[in-house]
Structure 1
Amino acid sequence: MSVPEFFNNNEIVYCSEQDFIIKAWGPILSEIFKQAKLTLRWGDTTMENTTAPFKVDLRVICTINGDRYDVGFVEFAKNFTASKAQKDRVKLILEGKEALNTVFKVIGKYVPDIEFYTLQIAGLKGHLISTTLQSNGLYTAQNINNRIRFPLTNNDIFDQTSHLMKAIIKFKVVMRNIYVDFKSGLIKRSIVGTMFEDK
């Protein structure tokens, strides 16, 4: 097994942001999320059920009873320049905060152990970011694990690919958990509503 020609350092410098999305990240994300009951919404779009002004490159959405909810976001860039990296990180954290608020609103209460994951990617590298709401009302965001990246040499193939796949699968698992939280919250609201209607 060898590194594809696309990952050659001499070729990477000529790649656009779309090259990285179409040739590298898109196929992997699409394959991993194929059976997850989650929709990948590509292109600059705004999240559901919010007044947040930001558009993100990829939204991961669950659909429950015809209503759509955001469970994850991804921002792409060609490379990690300081200004672009900071701008994308702030955007993802603010979107994560908005999405967390939607989760708590649907559930009907604050749940301390819920994390909202986003993925910040530049070129062939990326960071998983976890946003949480602490009991004191402060939102916190932190990188999860080490930076992920596609292997650039044959020697990197096993370790880097394994780390990359584990990170993306973890991303999917957290989003599936939020999907379950949404579903259970909506079921409880429906049951409570029915009880009041019966009275």
Structure 2
Amino acid sequence: MDVMQLLKGRRTYRRFDQSRPVPETALQDMARAVRLSSSARNLQLLRVIFVTDPKLTEAMFEDVHFAADLPRELGTPKPGEHPVMYAVLIYTQKTRWTDTDAGILLSNLTLAAWSHGVGSCIMGNIDRKAIADLLSVPDPGMIHSAVALGYPTHTSEVVDLDEKGSLNYYLDEEKNYKVPKRPISELIYKNKYSNQ
């Protein structure tokens, strides 16, 4: 798949086909993508737990929170739409580069997933203590974030800003996600910073 098409399609997805598990080939590619992630000083201090057992994924659903900018009844997956897998990112040691390394790893992992049509939602609004207990992580403080994964049952599309310039994502009539993005002219500068 062309890299720009991959980047365009790898949006955040929050409703999944709960009857369709993530295949082993996708898991292997996600694992390889994690391994290939760049790491400050090449310390490789991050680890990932792939949670694929249906009982664990259902238990973990109670400990993660979806779409804070939408009303709960619209943003939270309903039964049959829950994630079929989670990837839980853990640090074995925190450094000033941990969040940068985590961002690179999460990008690699979700792009590898999307190359198989597996959608993702990266989440920081999670109950770390409950997840640590569920997954036998010795210290909840080791948990950086979680990623919900599965085959999406909706689309997620980048759109231009409306006339008010709102950055709030929203659902259309078919409950597909629309994600406003600033134009490139507002994001990229050449040679010098300019706020004009």
TM-score category of the 2 structures, normalised to the smaller one? under 0.3
More helix by share: 1
Q: Larger relative contact order (C-alpha < 8 A, sep ≥ 6)?
A: 2
More strand by share: 1
Answer with 1 or 2: which has the greater Rg. 1
TM-score by length of 2: 0.26
